[in-house]
Amino acid sequence: MTRETAVPLHEMISGAKEEILTEWIKNQLSDKSRSKGVPEASLRNSSSEFIRLFEEAITKGNVDDIEKPEWEEMRHMLAELSATRASQGSTPSDTAKFIFSLKEPLFARLTPEKGQGNTEASAAVWQLSLLLDKLGLYTAETFQRTREAIIRRQQKEMLEMSTPVIKVWDGVVAVPLIGTLDSARTQIVMETLLQKIVDTGSRIAILDITGVPTVDTQTAQHLMKTVSATRLMGAECIISGIRPQIAQTIVHLGIDINDIVTKATMADAIKEALARGGWSFERHLESV
Amino acid sequence: MDREKLIVTPLMLGFQELKTEDDLIEMRSAVKRHAADMGFSALNQTKIMTAASELGRNVIEHGHGGSVQIEHIRELDRDGIRLTFTDDGPGIADARLALSDGYTSKKGMGLGLSGSKRLMDEFELISPPGTTVMVTKWM
């Protein structure tokens, strides 16, 4: 069926290219819901470019698989179109509608007179409809992919932002961990922490896990790796911010953390770190 | 134990595919949310969430991905949350060995299965083919 209808299809389009284009642009411009961000000139340009590539691709005989090389230029153009339109403030459905709106002028030419060649015409309509749907959906997918790339980039930025290493005293650094401690996160924490230990010549590092929602075996393993690496640098590690429910969960899981110094709060950890450094404090009540 | 039983059809709370580490994070917060909505204590919420995290990671790392089903189950005098993890992976050949503390087939701590068994009230493992782990925590 594909091969049979392919020839008349592309001939039909080549023959009436200008008419189809004019009608298509006219329809788009008269559409009230059309996004105002897209200038008329660029709409005309992309419309004629689309028809040109569309004709080219179906002339090569492929009317159903847009993943094939003959559609490559078209895919490229649509990807660009969807990116520009997104930056002009169009939604993905606006961009898809741009393609779907070609159906009207195109189909009008496929069903010329009532009662004549109905089966053949409806087969061609069906085929074209599927094809335009695929192209329209392709623009939506591209839009989504662009979005996802942005999200991934932001996630990465957030990951790096959310692991500050703070110098709390001479020779004492602290890292407040917030969120899930997965492998990527541990890697970043470890790198920044070890670097800060070198830079400040610290002897004690405090890892605060108040903001870590769960400590499962993987998180525990990651914490232990960080502790071992810190030790190799000649510094000691204190883990603080262990909430009661986390403590009980760790015990139930059966994780052995006996050789790690832990404290309930960051304040306790700082006190311990200072005591180890030989610092002692006095409170002068008369000055309060 | 002789209990008078009334089993009501479980209430489906959620279903999620588990393929990537991101699915795991999403699943964990969904489980915690449902447990909190049902009225579990903060301690039990953490226990359920941690067990879910262990079992979910098993699905991803050993079962090559699968899914989890979260249900609210009701009996005559008690309510509970049930998590069912399913994958079509190679399965567990020796369940007793896999459930013993410290046994690991990879580089983990070997506490995932046995630990989550201790964190929950009921634990059921069916394998092979694939692996299905069903855990329940009663309120």
Tens-digit pLDDT profile for residues B19-31: 988 888 889 989 9
End-to-end Cα distance, chain A? 93
Domain count, chain B: 1
Would B14 be classed as within a structural domain?
yes
Domains of chain A: 2-157 (1.10.490.10), 166-279 (3.30.750.24)
CATH code for the domain in which residue B81 is found? 3.30.565.10
pLDDT single digits (tens) B78-137 = 899 999 999 998 888 777 888 888 787 777 777 888 899 999 999 999 887 889 999 999
pLDDT at B132: 92
CA-based Rg of chain A, rounded to a whole angstrom? Answer: 32
**Residue-wise DSSP of A147-178:** HHHHHHHHHHHHHHHT---EEEETTEEEEEEE
User: Which residue type, as a one-letter code, is found at position A280?
Assistant: S
Residue A208, token pair as written in the block: 């605060």
pLDDT at A160: 67
Interface of B with A (CB under 8 A): 21, 25, 28-29, 32, 42-43, 45-47, 49-50, 53-54, 57, 101, 108-109, 111-112, 114-116, 118-119
Alpha-carbon distance of A198 to A106, in angstroms, equals 70
**Contacts A253 to B, Cβ<8 Å:** 50, 54, 111, 115-116, 118-119
User: Which residue type, as a one-letter code, is found at position A143?
Assistant: F
Instruction: Kindly determine whether residue A245 and residue B53, on different chains, have CB atoms separated by under 8 Å.
Output: no
Would B18 be classed as within a structural domain?
yes
Q: What is the ipTM of this complex?
A: 0.80
Would B103 be classed as within a structural domain?
yes
Alpha-carbon distance of A26 to A20, in angstroms, equals 10
Distances (CA, A) of A212 to A180, A223, B35, B50: 6, 11, 18, 12
Q: Identify the band that residue A81 occupies on the pLDDT scale cut at 50, 70 and 90.
A: confident
Which of B109, B116, B118 is closest, CB to CB, to A221? B109
| Residue linked to tokens 């046995």 | B114
Is the pLDDT assigned to residue A5 strictly greater than 50?
no
Residues of chain B above pLDDT 70, percent? 94
Mutate to test the interface with A, among B46, B62, B135 (most CBs of A within 10 A): B46
Q: Identify the band that residue A7 occupies on the pLDDT scale cut at 50, 70 and 90.
A: very low
Is the pLDDT assigned to residue A6 strictly greater than 50?
no
**Within an 8 Å CB–CB cutoff, is residue A215 touching chain B?**
yes
Residue B84, token pair as written in the block: 């069912």
Mutate to test the interface with B, among A253, A256, A257 (most CBs of B within 10 A): A253
pLDDT single digits (tens) A95-126 = 888 888 888 888 887 766 555 556 777 787 88
Q: Identify the band that residue A3 occupies on the pLDDT scale cut at 50, 70 and 90.
A: very low
**Contacts B111 to A, Cβ<8 Å:** 217, 253-255
Would B1 be classed as within a structural domain?
no
Is the pLDDT assigned to residue B67 strictly greater than 90?
yes
Strand order in the sheet with A166-169: A166-169, A172-178, A204-211, A236-240, A261-263
On the question of a cis peptide bond just before residue A8, with omega within 30 degrees of 0, the verdict is: no
**Cβ density class A107-117: b for 16+ within 10 Å, e for less:** eebbeeeeeee
Would B28 be classed as within a structural domain?
yes
A230-269 residues touching B, CB cutoff 8 A: 244-246, 248-249, 252-255
DSSP at B93: S
Taking CA–CA distances from A214, the nearest residue in chain B reads B50
**Contacts A218 to B, Cβ<8 Å:** 53, 57, 108
On the question of a cis peptide bond just before residue B129, with omega within 30 degrees of 0, the verdict is: yes
Is the pLDDT assigned to residue A4 strictly greater than 50?
no
Instruction: Kindly determine whether residue A213 and residue B118, on different chains, have CB atoms separated by under 8 Å.
Output: no
Q: Which domain holds residue B81?
A: 8-138
Taking CA–CA distances from A212, the nearest residue in chain B reads B46
Would B2 be classed as within a structural domain?
no
| Residue linked to tokens 């490559």 | A72
